[in-house]
Structure 1
């Protein structure tokens, strides 16, 4: 059908609530926290409203610069979100050009509902005008609602407030017309500050109509718009992603299970206190996967959960990340994290007997504590400071920086059973000390290198002397090494000849494991190797979460 209208209720949509917001943005994001690549370039910038621009000027900030910065934040948020289960380009054709028989209408209702639920919301709704039977199919199909699919080329036009209001009105009609259940809902294209009361109503409707997956992102002005706490009553939710909100105060919420079926939670650039994060973890009894992206506020993370299996923290800053009691935790992944004012994040590993994969640990950004012992260079390792369950370990090291290099032997001794080691070679501004083969030989035997590690992946190789010294020591010590993957630093080498001159010394190095093989490869397109994208994040069934070459 060619009709553009929707077969929804003809009743007038709920009014958009427009309120003047005089609150001052409280938090500014340091530009250095955001890398320049791996953004979702489909997300347009969001024009700043005049009142917010005045507030930034009063704070001594350039509104144009802040608008550009938050456009990047919004883009990174969308880059991190999971893809919707339907494509905006999907279409339903009942007849092929050379056929005269309608084969679709002969299918059983259960199969037709499955087909309709895989269409964009506009295409699914249009099937209702085909016949009375098809209207029933649409109303009974588990609906996927992606608001950016409502208008033509919405991804390019959603920044305009007029278009956003049209999307908002359409969403209201869809929620009123369809009885549910809603299999998946993505609400990312409206200007939420204009209809906060309506948003509360939407969330209540979705809770009553069996919502299973919800992605809810602000646009992002104002910066401290409070998310309605209504979502905490969505007992059917299995997947939830929230972006660019101020998390509601949980102090007055009754202490009962709020999200009893939630399996996956993503928190993107939220203003949130530690007690609220503790609240949500404590009241999600089957939660298996926690993603935190772009946290830029003072926060401590305490992992106390009987169900969590994977925690992934991207481009964030924490005072402390403490694995207190997580008996099922298999993966703790930290990437793109940064310290505030030179103060390192304390990473504490307590009770996590199934922890299999850990990293990237960075001595420049992390203070490590295992058991009750703070790990420093030269710390005498004992059973209480070891994490024997870890098989895949990732470290970020600036090979030309003395303090980084001195930590490596101690840290590796804390993981005696590591079989796969990833080393991310960090950029060095000014080298601070020579770390040649003598330094490494004097560090003594490292158990996991000599008898456990069979795969070494060295990321961002630049071929400097400090990197070569570490690799030479490793090759001469690793008795069971089978494979070495050298991932070249992006745009570092001036020519193929330059690259070969840096790589060739690796091939001539003596190796304790004579059968080991070296593979040299280019880096991935994304600066973070794809780790900054939740939809590309491997699940707990994949052995190595750091492989992307």
Structure 2
């Protein structure tokens, strides 16, 4: 269509990047060419492939041959819109088009749409233009929605309302990400998200009663991501289908309460270097296996009986702490008697660091250290005195350990350095004679890794980075 031609020139001269299909284009309409194996692929499969391509590339497929020309219109639309040039020296996302081109594409494509991404809503003409898009035939049965304002003014909630028609495709949505918007009170109760499996709310202003009405409307929801949700300090979650929650709160003031989540397997809490991560309370999550990364000072106050009982199911736990927080870590470990794998992510936390020596009473041992804990991973381990004392505690007290990993240690491949580390850690006196020690110098950013795989439910251990 003209919009695609305006957005990007034809690629008939770029045969090297398009394989046999592009060779066919250079030869004209020779669909019968023996070398054109793609022509043997059914139209339905080709339409699926086109729908997975970026916006411009999907439109460019029409130049390949006569057979390809109608396929773009038959394929579910994949449309990503940008509102402005990113600035000098910043590369332009080649997968996106400008609003004028987007309007022409939407007017010519019959639908349905697989994906629509638009971050740039603002009051005025563009807001009205977005309303027109959402009410179009092309976006009537949208599967994936990623929409948000260009910025978020947290001091003035209510100024960035989500366009009323943005959730017009609620019954067909499979995944939705809403950013820097206000969810109006009257919008959610009328919605029925029958197929929605993945939902992300990023810097969204939503009242407590609207949030309570949102989750029951998501009847197939499996993965929920909430980051800096505004409008309520306490988020109550009740869902019979939810399997994963990712929760982030940079203020440290929000509370997440898991009231009833019978299928919930994991709670993830990505973080920044100086961030708190909010507070969680688990009342009923009988299948919870994976939790973290938590701050010991945050979790130390969670001492309800319901929380303690639910933590028997947790097998994988990640904690953020400095080398001075061993007491807080030990208090947490008492709540996870069946823990099998522990991640310790060292960092400097200025508000809570205190130089207090650990107090461990062996007359009251920690159950997981005695019978279940098999693996401990220390991330961003640099080997200073406090970190060494911290690690040494697990070397000397974890009785069934199979492996201890140290990541980030300088000189990890140096034999002399490794021997020195073994001496400092008192490896010869380890509580588990089967424990293996692994040192490496790679640096892993757990927070970034988690954010990249927030909705990936196929990963058995989301903290493990191979």
Same fold (TM over 0.5): yes
Q: Which residue of structure 1 aligns with residue 287 of structure 2?
A: 354
Q: Alignment partner for residue 443 of structure 2, among 524, 527, 530?
A: 524
Contact 1:349 1:370 in 2 (8 A): no
**Against the structure 1 CA distance between its residues 3 and 218, is the aligned structure 2 distance closer, same or farther, given a 3 Å change threshold?**
closer
Mapped pair 1:411 → 2:339: no
Offset of residue 485 of structure 1: 0.8
Mapped pair 1:435 → 2:357: yes
Mapped pair 1:241 → 2:156: no
Mapped pair 1:268 → 2:202: yes
Mapped pair 1:175 → 2:106: yes
Q: Which residue of structure 1 aligns with residue 71 of structure 2?
A: 137
Contact 1:331 1:540 in 2 (8 A): no
TM-score by length of 1: 0.69
Cα distance in structure 2, aligned partners of 1:154 and 1:291:
33
Cα distance in structure 1, aligned partners of 2:369 and 2:272:
27
Offset of residue 198 of structure 1: 2.1
CA deviations 1:397-455 (Å, max 9, x no partner) are 3332xxx433333321211111111122232659634425xx33557311101110111
Contact 1:356 1:391 in 2 (8 A): yes
Contact 1:393 1:420 in 2 (8 A): yes
Q: How does 1:223-234 map to 2 (within 5 A)?
A: 224-234=159-169
Q: Which residue of structure 2 aligns with residue 195 of structure 1?
A: 126
Offset of residue 466 of structure 1: 3.4
Which ranges of structure 1 fall in alignment gaps of 5 or more residues? 8-88, 375-383
Offset of residue 90 of structure 1: 7.2
Which ranges of structure 2 fall in alignment gaps of 5 or more residues? 8-15
Q: Which residue of structure 2 aligns with residue 22 of structure 1?
A: none
**Against the structure 1 CA distance between its residues 222 and 355, is the aligned structure 2 distance closer, same or farther, given a 3 Å change threshold?**
closer
Cα distance in structure 1, aligned partners of 2:293 and 2:201:
20
| SS of the residue 1:512 aligns to | coil
Offset of residue 91 of structure 1: 4.9
**Against the structure 1 CA distance between its residues 191 and 244, is the aligned structure 2 distance closer, same or farther, given a 3 Å change threshold?**
same
Offset of residue 239 of structure 1: 0.4
Number of residue pairs matched? 441
Contact 1:295 1:316 in 2 (8 A): no
Q: Alignment partner for residue 307 of structure 1, among 241, 255, 268?
A: 241
Cα distance in structure 1, aligned partners of 2:237 and 2:138:
27
| SS of the residue 2:281 aligns to | strand
CA deviations 1:508-538 (Å, max 9, x no partner) are 3521221211111234354x453452x3337
Cα distance in structure 2, aligned partners of 1:347 and 1:222:
26
CA deviations 1:45-77 (Å, max 9, x no partner) are xxxxxxxxxxxxxxxxxxxxxxxxxxxxxxxxx
CA deviations 1:295-353 (Å, max 9, x no partner) are 4665322111011100012353442111100000000111317999x9x9442111100
Mapped pair 1:392 → 2:392: no
Q: Which residue of structure 2 aligns with residue 462 of structure 1?
A: 382
Cα distance in structure 2, aligned partners of 1:546 and 1:271:
29
Cα distance in structure 2, aligned partners of 1:147 and 1:280:
27
**Against the structure 1 CA distance between its residues 204 and 92, is the aligned structure 2 distance closer, same or farther, given a 3 Å change threshold?**
farther
Q: Which residue of structure 2 aligns with residue 80 of structure 1?
A: none
Contact 2:50 2:58 in 1 (8 A): yes
Q: How does 1:2-401 map to 2 (within 5 A)?
A: 5=5, 91=18, 94-96=21-23, 100=27, 101-102=30-31, 103=36, 104-105=38-39, 107-128=41-62, 133-148=67-82, 156=90, 167-188=98-119, 194-205=125-136, 209-220=140-151, 224-234=159-169, 235-245=171-181, 247-250=182-185, 252-253=186-187, 255-295=189-229, 299-314=233-248, 316-317=250-251, 318-336=253-271, 345-366=278-299, 368-369=301-302, 371-372=304-305, 385=309, 387-400=311-324
Mapped pair 1:536 → 2:447: no
| SS of the residue 2:431 aligns to | coil
Cα distance in structure 2, aligned partners of 1:538 and 1:521:
29
CA deviations 1:369-395 (Å, max 9, x no partner) are 354578xxxxxxxxx645211111122
CA deviations 1:237-275 (Å, max 9, x no partner) are 000111222x2222x347455211100011122233333
Offset of residue 116 of structure 1: 2.5
| SS of the residue 2:5 aligns to | coil
Moved more, 386-395 or 218-227: 218-227
Offset of residue 176 of structure 1: 1.5
TM-score by length of 2: 0.80
| SS of the residue 1:470 aligns to | helix
CA deviations 1:482-508 (Å, max 9, x no partner) are 01111227x999x99889856651263
Contact 2:113 2:140 in 1 (8 A): yes
Cα distance in structure 1, aligned partners of 2:363 and 2:389:
13
Cα distance in structure 2, aligned partners of 1:209 and 1:428:
48
